[in-house]
C-alpha cells in the first residue's frame, strides 16, 4: 500500500505554489490581503460601476446565461439536424463553427480546400448553403453567434440575406459575429488581408450594425484563442482588452461617437480548470474595461462600460487520455465561468481531443450547464465569491498585471504596433514554454497524462466525417454556378472590387453579392484583388 501511495504521488508538499498563471499563492488569506481594494470604489453593488461584481443587479436570478453550444460539421443538412437536436434539448442560442476553407476565403472546390471540407466546421460556400443551414429554424426567434473573422463581412451578409428570405427584418436579428481580426495575427492565423484593410472591414461591420442591426453584437473581441496558444489568465485579459481599445479607437477615428457603437461590443474568453483564478479574471476584466471606457474614451452610457462576454471551456485542457475525465474538467471550467458572471457559455464535449463531438458527448456538455444552473445553487446569488479574501486578492493582482501590460502596449503605440513587433506573440510563446516545462517536469499535474496514468483504451464512440462529403459539396457548387445569372455575378463582383478600393462601407455590396449567389470564394478573391494577401514577416 505504501508503494502504491508513493507511486501515485498522494503526499502533497506545503511548499511554494503559484496559480497556473504564475501568481504566488499564500497558505491562507485574511483581511489584510484585501486592503488594496476600496469597497466603495471597487466593490460597488452588482449592476453599479465599475461592475466588478456583475453588470446586472439581479445576476442569474433575473435571467440565466445563454447556453450557446458551438456546433458545425460536414454538410449544412447534418449541422441543421444537430442544431435542431440541441434546440430540442434546451439550448437557448446557436453558435456556428465554419470549416477552415470558409474561414480563409476558399470555396469547397478550391485546390487548397482538399481534405478539409466539413472537417472542423460546416461548409458554407454560398447563400444557398446558409439558407439550408437554418431551414426550419426561425431566425427572428433565436440568437446566433458566428465564429468568423477574415470573411466576416461575407458570412454576415449571407445571414442577413437568409433571414430576409425567411421574412425576418434585419433590425430584429439577435446575435454576434466574431469579427476580431487582431487576434488572428496573434494566435490563430486565419487572416487573408493585411492589418489596414482588415481593420477597415472590421469597422465597416461595426458601423453597419450600429445603424442597421440594433440588436446585433458587431464584434466579439476574443482572448480565447490566445489562451489556447499558451497565454496566462492575466495575459489573456490584457491582450484582449488591448485589442478592444484598438477597435474602439478605430471606430472613433471614423467619426463615430463612442456611445453609438460601444454598447454592442462583446468579448469572448476561455475558462481554464483553476476555478478561483478564472473567476477572479472575469471580475478584474469587468472593472478594468469599465474604467477604460469611462476615463479613456469618455463613454457616458453605462452600457458602453459593461463588459459583456461569452465563455468557452478550455479545449487545450482536454486530454485524449482518459477522455471521461474531461467531463470533470469541463464542469469545473463552466463553474468558473458562472461564478465569474458570464452572459453566455459553451461547454466542450469530453471527446473533443479525439474527434468532432458525438451526439452523446454534446448532450452531456449541455446537461453540464443545466445541472450547474438548476442544481448547484451557484446561480442563486450574484457574485457568490465576492468578499473572499483569496478571490479579492487574486482579482486585484490580475488587475495590476493587466495594467502593466496595457501600459507597455501603449508605450509601443497600441495593440497593432505591438503585434507587428511580435511583442504579444512572444509573451504568449514564453508562457506556453514555461507551462510545458512544468508539465514535463511533473510540477503541473495533468491527471491521466503525467500522473494517475493507465494504459486502457479511451472507449469513446467517435464521430467521423466521410470523404464523400467533399465530392457532394463540389457538385452542389457546380449546380449553383450553372443555375445562377452569371452576368449578374460578374457585375456585382466588379462592384465589390470598386467599393473595396473606395471609402464606402462594404456591407451593402456584400449583401448584393450574396443575393446574386456569388460564392464566398469569389467574393474573397475580389477582395484579394483589391487588398492583396498578407504574409506574416519573420520576427527575430
155 domain residue, yes or no: yes
What sign for the dihedral angle of Cα 377, 383, 387, 393?
A: positive
Q: Which domain holds residue 85?
A: 17-440
Q: Structural domain tally of the chain?
A: 1
CB atoms within 10 A of CB 376: 14
Phi, psi angles (nearest 5°) of residue 527:
-70, -35
215 domain residue, yes or no: yes
237 domain residue, yes or no: yes
Q: What is the pLDDT of residue 3?
A: 37
- Determine the Cα–Cα distance for residues 536 and 290; give it in Å rounded to an integer: 33
66 domain residue, yes or no: yes
pTM (predicted TM-score): 0.93
As beta bridge partners, residue 376 has none
- Determine the Cα–Cα distance for residues 515 and 126; give it in Å rounded to an integer: 9
- Determine the Cα–Cα distance for residues 442 and 8; give it in Å rounded to an integer: 12
Kindly report the CATH number assigned to the domain that includes residue 351. 3.20.20.240
As beta bridge partners, residue 69 has 94
Residues in the chain: 540
Phi, psi angles (nearest 5°) of residue 68:
-115, 90
- Determine the Cα–Cα distance for residues 83 and 93; give it in Å rounded to an integer: 10
What sign for the dihedral angle of Cα 240, 246, 250, 252?
A: positive
Q: What is the pLDDT of residue 2?
A: 39
Phi, psi angles (nearest 5°) of residue 270:
-90, 160
Q: What is the pLDDT of residue 501?
A: 98
525 domain residue, yes or no: no
Q: What is the pLDDT of residue 74?
A: 77
Helix (H) or strand (E) holding 345, with range, is strand 344-346
Helix (H) or strand (E) holding 330, with range, is helix 325-340
Phi, psi angles (nearest 5°) of residue 70:
-75, 125
506 domain residue, yes or no: no
523 domain residue, yes or no: no
258 domain residue, yes or no: yes
Q: What is the pLDDT of residue 540?
A: 46
- Mean pLDDT, contiguous 10-residue spans, the chain (540 residues): 44 76 93 68 91 97 89 86 83 87 97 92 96 93 94 98 97 96 95 96 97 96 97 98 98 97 97 98 98 98 98 94 96 98 96 86 94 97 96 96 98 96 96 95 94 77 70 96 98 98 98 98 98 77
Beta strands at 17-18 and 24-25: parallel, antiparallel or unpaired: antiparallel
Q: What is the pLDDT of residue 459?
A: 58
User: Cα separations (Å) of 90 from 22, 230, 313, 366, 415?
Assistant: 38, 33, 19, 8, 39
Contact 426, 314 (CB under 8 A): no
Amino acid at each position: 500500500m505504501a508503494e502504491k501511495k508513493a507511486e501515485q504521488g498522494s503526499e502533497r508538499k506545503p511548499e511554494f505554489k503559484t496559480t497556473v498563471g504564475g501568481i504566488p499563492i499564500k497558505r491562507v488569506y485574511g483581511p489584510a490581503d484585501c486592503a488594496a481594494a476600496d469597497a466603495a470604489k471597487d466593490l460597488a453593488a452588482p449592476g453599479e460601476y465599475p461592475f466588478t461584481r456583475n453588470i446586472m443587479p439581479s445576476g442569474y436570478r433575473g435571467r440565466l446565461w445563454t447556453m450557446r453550444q458551438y456546433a458545425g460539421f460536414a454538410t449544412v443538412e447534418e449541422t441543421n439536424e444537430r442544431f435542431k437536436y440541441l434546440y430540442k434539448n434546451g439550448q437557448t442560442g446557436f453558435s456556428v463553427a465554419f470549416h477552415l476553407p470558409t474561414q480563409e476565403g476558399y470555396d469547397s472546390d478550391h485546390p487548397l480546400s482538399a481534405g478539409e471540407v466539413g472537417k472542423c466546421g460546416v461548409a458554407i460556400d454560398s447563400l444557398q448553403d446558409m439558407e439550408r443551414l437554418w431551414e426550419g429554424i426561425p431566425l427572428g426567434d433565436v440568437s446566433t453567434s458566428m465564429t468568423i473573422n477574415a470573411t466576416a463581412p461575407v458570412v454576415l451578409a449571407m445571414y442577413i440575406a437568409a433571414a430576409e428570405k425567411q421574412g425576418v427584418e434585419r433590425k430584429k436579428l439577435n446575435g454576434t459575429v466574431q469579427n476580431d481580426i487582431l487576434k488572428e495575427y496573434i494566435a490563430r492565423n486565419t487572416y487573408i488581408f493585411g492589418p489596414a484593410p482588415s481593420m477597415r472591414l472590421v469597422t465597416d461591420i461595426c458601423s453597419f450594425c450600429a445603424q442597421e442591426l440594433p440588436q446585433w453584437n458587431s464584434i466579439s473581441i476574443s482572448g480565447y484563442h490566445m489562451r489556447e496558444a499558451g497565454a496566462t489568465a492575466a495575459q489573456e485579459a490584457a491582450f484582449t482588452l488591448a485589442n478592444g481599445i484598438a477597435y474602439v479607437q478605430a471606430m472613433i477615428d471614423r467619426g463615430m461617437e463612442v456611445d453609438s457603437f460601444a454598447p454592442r461590443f462583446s468579448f469572448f474568453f476561455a475558462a481554464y480548470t483553476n476555478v478561483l483564478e478564472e473567476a477572479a479574471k472575469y471580475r478584474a476584466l469587468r472593472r478594468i474595461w469599465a474604467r477604460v471606457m469611462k476615463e479613456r474614451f469618455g463613454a457616458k452610457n453605462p452600457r458602453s462600460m459593461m463588459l459583456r462576454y461569452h465563455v468557452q471551456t478550455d479545449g487545450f485542457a482536454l486530454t485524449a487520455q482518459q477522455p471521461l475525465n474531461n467531463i470533470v474538467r469541463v464542469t469545473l471550467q463552466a463553474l468558473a465561468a458562472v461564478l465569474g458572471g458570464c452572459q453566455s457559455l459553451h461547454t466542450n464535449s469530453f471527446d473533443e481531443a479525439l474527434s468532432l463531438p458525438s451526439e452523446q458527448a454534446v448532450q452531456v456538455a449541455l446537461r453540464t450547464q443545466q445541472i450547474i444552473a438548476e442544481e448547484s445553487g451557484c446561480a442563486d446569488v450574484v457574485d457568490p465569491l465576492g468578499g473572499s479574501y483569496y478571490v479579492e486578492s487574486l482579482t486585484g493582482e490580475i488587475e495590476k498585471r493587466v495594467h502593466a501590460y496595457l501600459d507597455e502596449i501603449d508605450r509601443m503605440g497600441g495593440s497593432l504596433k505591438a503585434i507587428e513587433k511580435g511583442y504579444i506573440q512572444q509573451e504568449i510563446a514564453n508562457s506556453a514554454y514555461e507551462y510545458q516545462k512544468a508539465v514535463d517536469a511533473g510540477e503541473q499535474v495533468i491527471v491521466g497524462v503525467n500522473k494517475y496514468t493507465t494504459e486502457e483504451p479511451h472507449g469513446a464512440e467517435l464521430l467521423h466525417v466521410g470523404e464523400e462529403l467533399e465530392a457532394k459539396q463540389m457538385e452542389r457548387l457546380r449546380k449553383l454556378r450553372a443555375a445562377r445569372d452569371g452576368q449578374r455575378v460578374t457585375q456585382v463582383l466588379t462592384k465589390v472590387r470598386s467599393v473595396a478600393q473606395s471609402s464606402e462601407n462594404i456591407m451593402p455590396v456584400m449583401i448584393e453579392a450574396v443575393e446574386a449567389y456569388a460564392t464566398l470564394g469569389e467574393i474573397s478573391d475580389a477582395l484579394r484583388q483589391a487588398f492583396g494577401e498578407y504574409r506574416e514577416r519573420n520576427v527575430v
